[in-house]
Structure 1
Amino acid sequence: MAVEKKDIEDVAEALGRKFDEFKKTNDKRIDGLEEEKGKLSGQVDTLNEKLSELDELKSNLEKELLSLKRPDGTGTKAASEHKAAFMQFVRKGIDAGLGDLQAKALQIGTEADGGYAVPEELDRSIIELLKDTSPMRQVCNQISVGTPDYKRLVSLGGAGSGWVGETAARPATGTPTLGQISAFMGEIYANPQATQTSLDDIFFNAEAWLGAEVTREFSEKEGSAFTSGNGVNKPKGYLAYDLVLDDDKTRDFGKLQKLISGAAGSFNGDNIIDLIHSLKAGYRANATFMMTNLTVAYVRKLKDSQGNYLWRPGLEADKPSTLLGYGITENEDVPDVAADANAISFGDFKRGYTIVDRIGTRVLRDPYTNKPYVGFYTTKRVGGMLVDSQAIKVLTLSAA
């Protein structure tokens, strides 16, 4: 049954009711007698878990409704012929004429290491599915390039200026500094297996199967790399860059500012407010929090000095739940609440971090290595880079 907007509204209404129940129970826990607190804590945790389930359900329904509205890719005649030939290659291993059709459709030929480029439509679908499943792809800037590597220039400022009188001399000012940054690139691979019998079955959707298998494998590896990867044969995650206490006026380019919570393994509402306002106003307009689901459960219990909860459920379609008015991106590759953990990030990730996809996912069909299974060795070159180190801030849960 297709998702309708009313389904989302019903879930949002249930989310609101459950949040009211959560607040009442948590308030009783805070204000209750000592012997009551143990029992109420269990109820609060149960309600908190239910809030997470409803919030995730609402988000998933919104994504599903959006996917139903996406237009189908039609493509050119050459692209259609390439796709048909590629699926024949997947099912039967027949590649007669595939190289020529690939060259016409994609303007590239077969690479020396073998394999064939995934048709443009399927390749685009894989990227779209990765965006749906990868938290970093949902909020970061993404570009596609045709070369193995990617570099860009950034302005580090320093042009200088000054005040002068109407007829006073105007001496030369400083020359603005330009810096070059490079994406940390790596090749990611997956090797899903299917029996030849299943591939021969006309009711087996080989295209959907291959896309889903590759997407799941790529998404798990990519998400970790974009968040905390060390940059060795993989993207460098934003949390792998140097984290320092210096503010924007004194911090070197390419280093992120971290704020200290003041208590090992915990934080409060004031820390969240400080984190928000450590970011310049221009970045706050499109900023989002990034944390794990367990950390979201932690912040749901936080209140301001007037006793108002900082977390608010999204009670309308297309309106996400917020923390102090800003959206939350759940990323399970961010550290959970623990001593010295970089548990919460806040910023404009689209301006701060760029994901670089090399055009073309490639597949090498292998019916020999693992009989009776046919392997589809699938590779894709992808990278990541911090491009604006003022756009993202990190809260570290340390005492000092």
Structure 2
Amino acid sequence: MDVIDRPVLAGASERAGAPAFEGFVRTGQTLELKAFTGVTGDAGGYALPREIDAAIDRALASISPIRRIANVVKVGSAGYRKLVTTGGTPSGWAAETDARPGTATPVFQEVVPPSGELYANPSASQAMLDDAAFDVEAWLADEIATEFARAEGAAFVTGSGVNRPKGFLTNPVSAAADATRAFGTLQYLASGAAGDFAANPQERLIDLVQALRAPYRQGASFVMNAATVARLRKFKTSDGAFIWQPGLAAGQPATLLGYPVVEAEDMPDVAANSLSIAFGNFRLGYLIAERSDTAILRDPYSNKPFVGFYATKRIGGCVVNAEAIKVMKFAAS
């Protein structure tokens, strides 16, 4: 019978007459041992799999919530127009047999929301997509969605209107009342001091609320950033009661003078002549027009061995009714 030569057991060396391992089994003779551990890489550590958490944590971006309180419409093309009437339709009183002369017709204003295309074009190698311990494609899609939400939220507040939405704070402002202001101009109320509130700041806030006419106050809300919220939460009435009321249940917004407060980090901090507080019915006052949902094109061909993820979103926005939004200007007048 042929004898098949096999390599001796790892870590053992052959001795004259018998394999070393057989000698250890029979007599307890000590072998020459080598450490094989995961403590260092070349001693076996490289062979141990690294376990990576499949959920990638990230620092959360501050996303403006204007979309949640504004009027969002889906459009079929970039040439969206909206008609707004000003002044209403005049009417008159007459007796049963009196003549009915003609009344004036409403005045129409055309509103064209400025729009632009928001895009991102990240890429990943095919090897990364194949070998990563987590779903890279799903992670990239989520990152793109988060970045788009942040970018569009900033545009709804301070956007220039050039290849992007026009933010409501970039509209012209005036201290004139609704009946005398030019169309598209927001009314502001002064805080009473440059970069601060004057005495009795809660009275200035009441003036801001009452400047918005009653038909718009149903569904109105305050909009400001967290730093401004911190200021207002400390204000008290003359009897020591806070004018800020926290939400009584999870998910319920806090209220200021009975109206919900929306924190939008794109609103400016309190400074001289800043428009740091807005109050209004944004569903009636601000329009967001979007062509469609975010589209993502997977491109594995243009830049081998990388796979591109080309994401686009066409979106526009502007103020459609300046009477529905008021702002507070931190100035003496």
- Shorter chain as denominator, the TM-score bin is 0.7 to 0.9
Once residues 372 and 341 of structure 1 are traced to their aligned partners in structure 2, the CA distance between those partners, rounded to angstroms, is 50
1:169-225 CA-to-partner distances (Å, cap 9, x unmatched) read: 221111111221111110111122323223224863345323311112212211111
Instruction: Tell me the C-alpha RMSD between the 2 structures.
Output: 2.1
| Corresponding residue number in structure 2 for 1:247 | 177
1:203 & 1:227 partners in 2: Cα distance?
39
- On the 8 A contact 1:149/1:185 being kept in 2, the answer is no
Of 253, 262, 266, the residue aligned with 2:196 is: 266
Counterpart of 1:272 in structure 2: which amino acid? L
Q: Which amino acid aligns with 2:294?
A: T
For residue 368 of structure 1, report the CA deviation from its aligned partner. Answer: 7.2
Q: Which residue of 1 aligns with 2:96?
A: 166
Identical aligned pairs, as a percentage? 51
SS in 1 for 2:141: helix
Residue of structure 2 in register with 1:325 after alignment: 258
Question: After superposition, what is the alpha-carbon deviation per residue over 1:378-399, rounded to whole angstroms, capped at 9, x for unaligned?
Answer: 1111000211111110000001
1:168 is paired with a residue whose SS is coil
Distance in 2 (CA, whole Å) between partners of 1:238 and 1:309 is 30
Quote the residue 1:196 is aligned against. Answer: 126
In our comparison, the structure showing a higher alpha carbon Rg is 2
Output the CA distance in 2 between the equivalents of 1:318 and 1:362.
Answer: 30
1:367–1:375: 8 Å Cα contact kept in structure 2?
yes
1:218 aligned partner: 148
Q: Residue 226 of structure 1 contacts residue 237 of structure 1 at CA under 8 Å; is this kept in 2?
A: yes
Of 298, 308, 311, the match for 1:378: 311
Q: Match of 1:266, as an amino acid? A: D
How far did 1:149 drift? 2.5
CA contact 2:64–2:266 (8 Å) conserved in 1:
no
CA distance in 1, matches of 2:73, 2:134: 33
Contact 1:192 1:213 in 2 (8 A): no
- In 1: Cα distance, 2:305 partner to 2:256 partner: 52
1:155–1:178 contact (8 Å) kept in structure 2: yes
Report the TM-score when normalising by structure 2.
0.75
- Tell me the SS of whatever aligns to 1:197: helix
Is 2:216 aligned against 1:283? yes
CA–CA separation in structure 1 for the residues paired with 2:244 and 2:257:
6
Structure 2 residue matching 1:186: 3-state secondary structure: strand
User: What is the CA distance between 1:377 and its match in structure 2?
Assistant: 2.1
Aligned CA distance change for structure 1 residues 289 and 209 (closer, same or farther; 3 Å)? same
Residue aligned with 2:240, SS: coil
Q: Cα distance 1:143–1:165, how it changes in 2: closer, same or farther (>3 A)?
A: same
Residue range with higher mean Cα deviation, 222-231 or 373-382:
373-382
Unaligned stretches of 5+ residues in structure 1: 1-131
> Larger % of helix: which?
1
3-state SS, counterpart of residue 232 of structure 1:
coil
Partner Cα separation in structure 2 for residue 393 and residue 340 of structure 1: 15
**Secondary structure at the counterpart of residue 270 of structure 2:** coil
Q: 1:295 to 1:360 in 2, by over 3 A?
A: closer
Separation in 2, partners of 1:331, 1:246? 26
Deviates more, 1:290-299 or 1:323-332: 323-332
Q: 1:117 matched to which residue of 2?
A: none
Of the three residues 267, 274, 278, the one matched with 1:334 is: 267
The C-alpha deviation readout for 1:260-288, integer Å capped at 9, x for no partner, is: 11101112111111111111122112111
Deviation at 1:365, TM superposition (A): 3.9
Q: Residue by residue, what CA displacement relative to the aligned partner does 1:289-342 show, whole Å, maximum 9, x if unpaired? A: 100100000101111222211111113233221111111111111110111110
Counterpart residue identity of residue 287, structure 1: A
Distance 2:331 2:158 in 1: 19
TM-superposition CA deviations, 1:233-281 (whole Å, max 9, x none): 1000111111111111222221111111110111211111111111112
Name the amino acid aligned to 1:152: K
What is the aligned residue count?
269
> Matches of 1:163 and 1:261 in 2, distance apart?
43
**What residue identity is the alignment partner of 1:322?**
T
Question: Is the partner of 1:327 in helix, strand or coil?
Answer: strand
